[in-house]
Amino acid sequence: MRKREMDGNIAKLPFENFFSGRRGRGRPPFLPAASVRSCADNYRTSLKRGWNELSGPLLSAETEQEVANALRSVPLGYPHELPLLAPLIFKVIKDAKFPKRKTAQIKFLADSIGGGGTVTPRRSRDICAKERAADAQRHHIVRFEYWIECSCGYRGRSEYHSCRKCGAILYLPNVAELDSSQYE
């Protein structure tokens, strides 16, 4: 397979093996760098949600087991695998570079464990930083319209999401802004 050549941004990550504890046969699976970053984003959200409650017991933990206990004691939502990452998280929070400030701590920790322990925390943070920087370079949709049918009788393309004939407005849901800045 030329998969790695097709996507230059692929990290070498036996990701499933990590959680299953088993090592598969043959070539280890590859996880795209975008997935590392995506996991980190999810961890950022979850850690942010529970940090006030979690940070005390987590940051004072002296063993991997205490880290796991701290993570289980706080409802963090979606990433149920977080306690499984306790050994990795323990390593990250004891890192001399672990930030002092709350939001920086959340981002640093989330990005460090985005790779699920299959790459070093440092490499995981590098992957996240590279992916976030690449966002700024990619083209993105700056405008989109709908095909609409309005009660005034107009059928056709909307203009800035409103009816081209009578100006009726289509309300769009707000898209929550994701905080993807660096460790500040």
Between 48 and 165, name the residue whose CB sits nearer to Zn ion. 165
Tell the smallest beta-carbon distance from residue 148 to Zn ion (Å): 8
- Report the 3 state secondary structure along the chain: CCHHHHCCCEECCCHHHHHHCCCCCCCCCCEEHHHHHHHHHHHHHHHHHHHHHHHHHHHCCCCHHHHHHHHHHCCCCCCCCHHHHHHHHHHHHCCCCCCCCHHHHHHHHHHHHCCCCCCCHHHHHHHHHHHHHHHHHCCCCCCCCCEEECCCCCEEECECCECCCCCCECCCCCCCCCCCCCCC
The nearest distance, CB 144 to Zn ion, in angstroms, is 19
Min dist. Cβ of residue 159 to Zn ion (A):
11
Q: Which of 123/164 has CB closer to Zn ion? A: 164
Please provide the distance, in angstroms rounded to a whole number, between the alpha carbons at the two ends of the chain.
40
Residue (76 or 148) nearer to Zn ion, CB = 148
Give residues in contact with Zn ion (CB under 5 A).
150, 152, 154, 163, 165-166, 168
Query: Measured from the CB atom, is 154 or 183 closer to Zn ion?
Result: 154
Which CB, 77 or 167, lies closer to Zn ion? 167
Q: Quote the least distance from Cβ 147 to Zn ion, whole Å.
A: 13
The least CB distance from residue 146 to Zn ion, in Å, is: 13
